[in-house]
Structure 1
Amino acid sequence: MPRTSFYTPLRWLFGDVLLPNSLWPTWMLEGLAVYDETKYTTAGRGRSPYYDMIFRTAAEAGVLDTSKFITLDMLNSSYPWYPYGENVYAFGYSMMNQVARTNVGTETSDGKDTIAVGPAGHEGDNLLGEMSIRSSARIPFFINGNVENLSGKDWYTHWANWVDDTNARAKADIKTIRSQPVTEVRLITHGGEGTLGTAFSADGKWMAYSQDSADEPFSLYLMNRKTGKTDRLYEKVEGANEAFTPDSKFLVYSTLNRKDDYDLWSDLKYYSIDQDKEETLSSRLRARDPDISPDGKWITYTVSHDATTGLAIAPLTYTTVKKVTKLSMGKNKEIFWPTKLDAVHSPKFSNDGKRIYFAWHVNGKISEEIAYYDRDTNKVSVVVNNGKLNYYPTLRPGSSKSAKTDDVIYVCDSTGVDNLCEYLGGTSRLVTNTTGGFAFPEFDQEGKLFADTFSYKGWDIAEIHGFTPVKPEAVTISSPPAPVPDADQINHSPDGEMKKYPVDNYSIWPSILPRQWAPAVLYSPGELYAGGEILGFDAVDIHSYVIAGAYDTLVKQADYLVSYTNRQLGPSFTFQIDEYTSNVISNGSGSSQTLLAYDRNLNYSIVGEFPIQYTYSTLTPYMALTGNRNFLYVPGTNPGNTAVAASFFVPYLDSMLFYSEAHTSRLAITSEEGRSAAIGERTYFNSGQTFEKLLVADQEYWRTDFLLKHSVLVPTINYSRVNQLVTSGYLDTDVTVEGRQAGRLLNSLPGQSLTSLVMRGYPLQTFYSRDAGVGSLDYRFPILPIFRGLGTDPLYFNQLHGFVFGEDTYFPSGRRVKSLPSAGGGLQLDMNAFNSIPFTASTEYHKGFRQDFGGKGEVFFQLLVNSPLSL
């Protein structure tokens, strides 16, 4: 039932600015989402063997609830190690499920509400809904009191109980698994992380795989199997399966590429080993999971469109020009297109190339089947259909004359663990037994079997030994603890068809109506400043606006601001006009206060920008026409008579081009590769004269692990020049170089811009020049990876790191000063406050060596937020 709280009048005043439940920690928000998808469907990640595998292997290693893995205070923000971002879903769901299993009877623990008792084992199922309702009326961030009032236990107790329950269940499951011989493996890669897919060259020299890790972004790797040397070839986005051509000269794989601002397409690429070069095979095809036929003439893959993923094939052509061979792909042909919302994946050619095996998920089922497409008959046959999950098929090397002689190895979860199964001659059997899990099986040219093997640290590639049949019934483990599906809530129409909803043309109404508003009231004796603001945007953020206004009874003037942004044509265009009072000078106090003078500022601007996004970089053209008129008002002697003593009007036009291709990793303390750059011009129109100010800026990132891993050299250069120098009056047209600003805690050293360049070591100093350049070299290095919080409190510590720098500000046309060198360093602590606000606390020492120009040594503290090159 609806309830009121102190938020109710606040919403009347401020609109939907305050949404208390949106301020939950991410693990609570996503944990409840996973719980609901498990509760109200017959599938859901809560029943997944994958989550169960994470917990089981951690319990087996004795690291559950330890700093070697994950503790409750590690959940509140980014966790750089495996399972990476998945931890908030897996562990958040576990906590929600633990609360739902609490039996408090028909009343909450505090006795304030009656609840319906859920099914056995989930008696407290309805506590979660009550928790959400009550949370919406509570002060955010303090999450323990709410769950304790409902269940009688706080989150620390629920976590401890879950750890005990999980350890006990894992112990029993591992005992069941170990009742049969456990498959032996030999690790090829080490350290876990997200290793996906394996491919071997026919000449036995190369092994390729994709890997995501805390130290590097998701990338394609190539290992020389004879020397063990491994090269990181290219950063890539998704895509796990790779395939070598039969001549072992080319490696084909898939990755996401950005084609438009809002379009990512999965396409096929290949790497030429001889040329050490990447080339593109397809464009805008949405192709994934490539495999190449034994004769090298065909490539198969999956394609997606119309909410369906099907099987496709195309011819491969090899063209040699000037001893350089390149691959090209012929016309795409969709050879099997399943029912809408179905999906196939991981296709593999048979050894004779006449059949293509693949995994097939039929919409509405919680299973996947192994099937094959016969290229001679154009028919699809299902060979494994047992109501379980079966995927990643591969073929044992050797001759095959028909489907009956194909020896197919695939992943199956029939025992509750992702093991390997074998299909041969119409019969399937379980052939591995592991306490972790297997994925992406693959044979090398000698017939040795490899697969990804799982530990709590993640996935590693391993050679599989002891390939023998296992009795499934002897090693089948218990099902993961999950809510009983609520059949009444699962929406199925009587005929089994999906429920259809009407499709209407998009309209901005009513979403464009104001969403947020706020009053503005300031009172002091003799003066009242009163007004308000409203803000709104439509559902797809094509239109947005802000309108604000207020009246000042002392100056008897109204301030206002109107801003509107539209991106319907692609670029974002913002139109804004505002007028406000500043620099009020008065004498006296209270009601006897006398107004002596004040400024009125009238500003208008038209801004256009359009980020052109590529897969790993962004190019942003920016233009803005800005006008500013400043009036100095001095009240006259006659009542109501006000004279304009002075007025300045200097419009200016900005034309900028920003470029960024900076790359990072999960353990990075800054960008580690690439650059951020900008070039632009500002043209001032001042009293009939034109002043043109140029800015060129470049910041490079050079990762160097020579002394410390993830340490980075950051060379930076910024140069600005104006066509003519002004020595008095409106000095904004000059190149302005500023030191650290006084009285500013937040970003006291702002970024470089057309307005001013910034130098270190010369606080409170400002220099005006016709041209100036600031060059620096920073060395940034990690000190301590923390990645822990204060229990469930909304403060999370990421990394402590340091930096040292050398810098010089140079004035090419300067007369009094040519060079202002400086150096220094500092310590920085990256944190997250209130669950989602990132900031850096920085303690720094800067030393300017030219004391005659204001240089000095100083220690100061500041809070930093990301501030790229700005205007």
Structure 2
Amino acid sequence: GTSDTSRATEYSAWPSLLPRYWTPVLESTTDDGTSFGASTSGYDVVGRHSYTMEVLRNNRFRENSAWLWYRYSGFGLPLIDLYASQNFSNGHVFSSVGGQTVEVGNILERDRIASLQATFIRPRFRSYSLASIGGEIENIDYLTAPDTLLRHLSPFFSTSRTYPALVASAGWSNAQRPALSISPEDGVSISMSGRARWQYGSSGSSTRSAVAVGTAFKSLDLAGFAHHVLALRGAGGITDEHSPDRFTAGGISGTLLEVFPGYSLGEQRRTFGVRGYPGGVEQGIRAYSAALEYRAPLFAPSRGFRFIPVFIDRTSLSIFGETGRAYCPKVVTDGVCRSVDVSNPAMTSVGAEFNIDSGLQLDLQARIRLGLAFPLANRQHLRASAAQAYATFGASF
């Protein structure tokens, strides 16, 4: 035989970890205008390192946003996650003029975050659990357009704040998902997260928040190619008056799907979504939502279309009812709550969705939801239409 005389060197992740591509990104909304940028990602050949990066430029508000997510898996467990971002949120400011509520400008929030967390996972045949703990530092400041509007708002928005924080989360699930099912079945999923923040440079100033989400599923052995399913979801969140963030409620909860490189369709995932109402129409330091769905299989064509890269696997029908609210108990001096948040009413809606489990471009699995929602309560107050037709991607929950 022959011997290998090549020089042995220590493993280096850099040759395979460096970016090999970039994808253009284009986002457009009615409120925020158009944002454009690029994204990239990479990982090494043995799976120790992985990362994703994205940068965006907004043309309406001239804002630059960026995100970096990095994971190190070399320890086995825990997984080490690093996250850094600069992001902007833009909202409307309303005032009562002559007995009518009119828009008087925009408030712009710039949020900078850096976090480091350790994550433990425990997958089992019938259950999955995870827990993570770590620290983060967040800087938040506010601007208004026009800039003269800022002095007319709560003093809370006139000061830049830095918040070091401890964060923790945990989750457990034993919900089943058979191969031909239309929904998770016969199990529950529970997740909780908490954050304790302190304001830098302010003695004794701290804020805490907690969010919990639970889902339950029960299969029914009725006619069809798959089980019918009763699905229940509940979520609740609480924080205090000096938190830099308010919860939002209302809107369709879905998933953004990249239909071609750089352009995505769909709705963002919402913890307190209520279909039929505008997205984030309510804000506050208390929030809750609950939803009940009956999910029934319709038919399973499991076929594609000639010359079109779309494959339809299964279809189903969901009938739902849900409610939710985000509000403030009261307004305090130098607090994040606004007077309009105190009187936020509960939202309630019913409706139905036609679901298509499909393969886009033949190998990209996606659920397409075509829905019709009917707001039942406080429709005029919250500027909701009598009925809302919508289309999005991803499961409702």
- Could you tell me which residue of structure 2 aligns to residue 572 of structure 1? 79
8 Å CA contact 1:838–1:865 kept in 2: the answer is no
Return the offset for 1:700. Answer: 0.9
Shift of 1:701: 1.0
Q: Given the superposition, is the C-alpha separation of residues 653 and 760 from structure 1 closer, same or farther in structure 2, using an over 3 Å criterion? A: farther
- In the alignment, the residues of structure 1 paired with residue 230 and residue 277 of structure 2 have an alpha-carbon distance, to the nearest angstrom, of 23
Q: Whole-Å Cα distance in 1 between the matches of residues 290 and 63 of structure 2?
A: 46
2:278 equivalent in structure 1:
763
Instruction: Give the equivalent residue in structure 2 for 1:681.
Output: 194
Question: Contact 1:737 / 1:759 at 8 angstroms: preserved in 2?
Answer: yes
Task: Return the structure number with greater strand share.
Answer: 2
Aligned residues of 1:511 and 1:539 also touching (Cα < 8 A):
no
Q: 2:120 aligns with which of 599, 607, 610?
A: 610
User: In structure 2, what is the equivalent of residue 861 of structure 1?
Assistant: 390
Amino acid at match of 1:669: I
Shift of 1:818: 6.1
Gaps of 5+ in 2: 27-34, 91-107, 145-157, 257-263, 330-341
The CA deviation string for residues 640-666 of structure 1, in whole angstroms up to 9 with x for no partner, is xxxxx8634344443111112221222
Q: What is the TM-score normalised by the length of structure 1?
A: 0.33
CA contact (8 A) 1:786 1:797 kept: yes
Task: Tell whether the 8 Å contact from 1:560 to 1:580 is kept in structure 2 after alignment.
Answer: yes
Contact 2:369–2:393 under 8 Å retained in 1: yes
- Residue type matched to 2:43 in 1? F
Question: Do the aligned partners of residues 831 and 543 (structure 1) sit closer, same or farther apart at CA in structure 2, a change above 3 Å counting?
Answer: same
Change in 2 beyond 3 A, CA 1:533/1:844 = closer
Pair 767,566 (structure 1): closer, same or farther in 2 beyond 3 Å: same
Which residue of 2 is the match for residue 823 of structure 1?
350
1:63-462 correspondence to structure 2 within 5 Å: none
Matching residue of 2:22: 518
Paired residue type of 2:269: P
For residues 693-721 of structure 1, the C-alpha deviation after alignment (integer angstroms, 9 at most, x for no partner) is 22221111100124655110001111222
**Which of 650, 658, 668 is the equivalent residue of 2:171?**
658
Partner of 1:668: 181
Matched residue type, 1:538: D
2:216 pairs with 1:700: yes
1:231-276 superposed Cα distances (whole Å, 9 cap, x missing partner): xxxxxxxxxxxxxxxxxxxxxxxxxxxxxxxxxxxxxxxxxxxxxx
Q: For 1:787 and 1:706, how far apart are their aligned partners in 2?
A: 21
CA contact (8 A) 2:374 2:388 kept: no
Identity %: 17
1:691 deviates by 2.1
State the partner residue of 1:442: none
For the 8 Å contact 1:520–1:550, the answer to whether it is kept is: no
The aligned counterpart of 2:251 is 739
**Distance in 1 between residues matched to 2:55 and 2:308, nearest whole Å:** 38
Q: State the shift of 1:619 in Å.
A: 0.4
Note if 1:647 corresponds to 2:155.
Answer: no
Matched, 1:846 2:373: yes
Q: Which residue of 2 aligns with 1:778?
A: 293
Q: Could you tell me the TM-score, scaled by structure 2's length? A: 0.67
Query: What is the distance in 2 between the residues matched to 1:620 and 1:867?
Result: 22
Residue 565 (structure 1) shift: 1.9
On the 8 A contact 1:746/1:862 being kept in 2, the answer is no
Aligned to 2:32: none
Q: Distance in 2 between matches of 1:521 and 1:670?
A: 31
CA distance in 1, matches of 2:124, 2:228: 27
Q: Please tell me whether the aligned partners of residues 514 and 534 of structure 1 are also in contact (alpha carbons under 8 angstroms).
A: no
Aligned to 1:725: 241
Deviations 1:448-489 (A, max 9, x none): xxxxxxxxxxxxxxxxxxxxxxxxxxxxxxxxxxxxxxxxxx
Deviations 1:531-575 (A, max 9, x none): 9776432212111245678999xx999977655321112122122
| Structure richer in helix, relative to its length | 1
In 2 relative to 1, CA 556–667 (structure 1 residues): closer, same or farther, beyond 3 Å? closer
Indicate the SS of the match to 1:663: coil
759 and 561 in structure 1: CA distance in 2 versus 1, 3 angstrom threshold:
closer
Against the structure 1 CA distance between its residues 735 and 531, is the aligned structure 2 distance closer, same or farther, given a 3 Å change threshold? closer
What SS does structure 1 have at the residue aligned with 2:373? strand
The DSSP-based 3-state class of the residue aligned with 1:701 is strand
Q: Distance in 2 between matches of 1:559 and 1:761?
A: 30
- Kindly state the Cα deviation for residue 810 of structure 1 after the two structures are TM-superposed: 5.9
- What code does the residue aligned with 1:737 have? A
* 2:234 alignment partner AA: I
Q: In structure 1, what is the Cα distance between the partners aligned to 2:20 and 2:182?
A: 36
Distance (whole Å) between structure 2 residues aligned to residue 520 and residue 818 of structure 1: 41
Partner of 1:61: none
Equivalence for 1:796: 311
How many residues matched?
A: 327
| CA distance in 1 between partners of 2:396 and 2:390 (Å) | 17
Q: 1:856 to 1:652 in 2, by over 3 A?
A: farther
1:7 is aligned to none
- Supply the AA of the counterpart residue of 1:800: T
1:843–1:859: 8 Å Cα contact kept in structure 2? no
Gaps of at least 5 residues in structure 1 are 1-492, 494-499, 523-528, 584-597, 635-644
Which position in structure 1 is the counterpart of 2:260?
A: none
> Using a 3 Å threshold, how does the CA distance of structure 1 residues 562 and 788 change in structure 2: closer, same or farther?
closer
Q: 1:656 to 1:853 in 2, by over 3 A?
A: farther
Q: Is 1:748 paired with 2:267?
A: yes
Q: Secondary structure at the match of 2:175?
A: coil
Amino acid at match of 2:355: Q
Quick one: distance in 1 between partners of 2:281 and 2:265?
19
Verify the 8 A CA contact 1:633 1:646 in the aligned structure 2.
Answer: no
Query: Using the alignment, how far apart are the partners of 2:287 and 2:311 within structure 1?
Result: 40
Q: Secondary structure at the match of 1:758?
A: coil
Per mean C-alpha deviation after superposition, the further-off stretch among 828-837 and 686-695 is 686-695
Structure 2 counterpart of 1:622: 132
Q: Distance in 2 between matches of 1:747 and 1:691?
A: 33
Match in the other structure for 2:338: none
Report the Cα offset of residue 803 of structure 1: 0.7
| C-alpha spacing 1:549/1:803, structure 2 compared with 1 (3 Å) | closer
The 1:682–1:559 alpha-carbon spacing in structure 2 relative to 1, beyond 3 Å, is closer
State the one-letter code of the partner of 2:249.
V
Secondary structure of the residue aligned to 2:353 is strand
Secondary structure of 2:179 counterpart = coil
| 2:302 and 2:313 in contact (8 A); partners too | yes
Q: Given that residues 618 and 661 in structure 1 are in contact (C-alpha distance below 8 angstroms), is that contact kept between their aligned partners in structure 2? A: yes
Q: What CA distance in whole angstroms lies between the structure 1 residues aligned with 2:270 and 2:48? A: 29
